[in-house]
Each structure stands twice: as C-alpha cells, then as structure tokens.
Amino acid sequence: MARLSAGERAPTFSLIDQNGKKVKLADFKGQKLLVYFYPKAGTSGCTKQACGVRDHREDLAALGAAVVGISPDEPQQQKKFDEKYGLGFPLLSDADHRVAAAWGAWGEKSMYGRRYEGIVRSSFLVDERGKIMHAWYNVRPADTAPKAREALSSD
C-alpha cells in the first residue's frame, strides 16, 4: 500500500454523496479540506469519528477547512448515518474502494488473527492547491478532528 506524504498532489476523486450529488476534489479548490476514510457507517468507531468531526466542524471551518468522509458504504447507508447523527457534511460512497486505494487508505488488516482487505482509518489535510499538508494513517477515531484542528492552527 503506497502512502501519501506532505507535499504530494492529492489524488482526485469524483464520488456520490449521501444525497446523490457528485462531489469532486476540484469542488474544494481554493480552500483547505479534511478528507477522512472510515470503514463502515454506523459502527461504534466510525460513529465516534464522524460525531467528533461534526462537533469540531465549526472550529475547522473557522480555520478555513471543509470536511468530507469517505467509506465503501452505498449512498443510502451514508444518508441514514448522516440523518441519525446530524452530521451535516458530505459522506462519499467509494464502493469499489478505488479512491481509498489511491490515497493509501485501503490495505491488509487483521482482526482476531484473520487477515482481510479493508479501509485503513486515515485522515488527510489538503491545501488550497490540492496538495497534501498532513497525512495520518491508522488514526484513532477520537483523534481525527483534534489532529486536523491542531495542524490547521499551527500552519
């Protein structure tokens, strides 16, 4: 699994959100963007991560950053997740995990001794020109928003 580093161009994406709208990386040109990848809408870790991002969204916006979450879930699953927790930001469907793979957020995982392929919980800050500012792989759900906020505050 190739990993992205600061200074590299962020891989482009064009994915459908929970409302059926196509969302592209290019839509965020001229502003910073927190992109985070999560394994499955509605699971405990993913809920903690999404709600943490939701709770820090105003802080992130004040620091000039928008937010998108990406998972392999279908848009209708994303919609239920958004409605249940009042997330209020784009949740993008990457059902074939091509975007996750391009960002280095798809790879081998292990649980209870079983190996399988899946989302590696990761988050990225992208600058106004589409370059990676920061990349966090295997990020803890509770750390996604605080790490982004800290990085935005120090840049």
The pLDDT, as a whole number, for residue 116 is: 74
The residue annotated as part of the active site, out of 41, 46, 50, 67, is: 46
Tell me the CATH number of domain 14-154, given options 3.30.230.70, 3.30.930.10, 3.40.190.150, 3.40.30.10: 3.40.30.10
Active-site residue, 51 included? no
Residues sharing a CB contact under 8 Å with residue 85, sequence separation 6 or more, in sequence order: 47, 50, 51, 54
Q: pTM of the prediction?
A: 0.94
Q: One digit per residue, pLDDT tens: the chain, 155 residues?
A: 579 999 999 999 999 999 999 999 999 999 999 999 999 999 999 999 999 999 999 999 999 999 999 999 999 999 999 999 999 999 999 999 999 999 999 988 777 888 878 899 999 999 999 999 999 999 999 999 999 999 999 86
What is the DSSP track for 29-96?
TTSEEEEEE-S-TTSHHHHHHHHHHHHHHHHHHHTTEEEEEEESS-HHHHHHHHHHHT--S-EEE-TT
The domain segmentation of the chain, as residue ranges, is 14-154
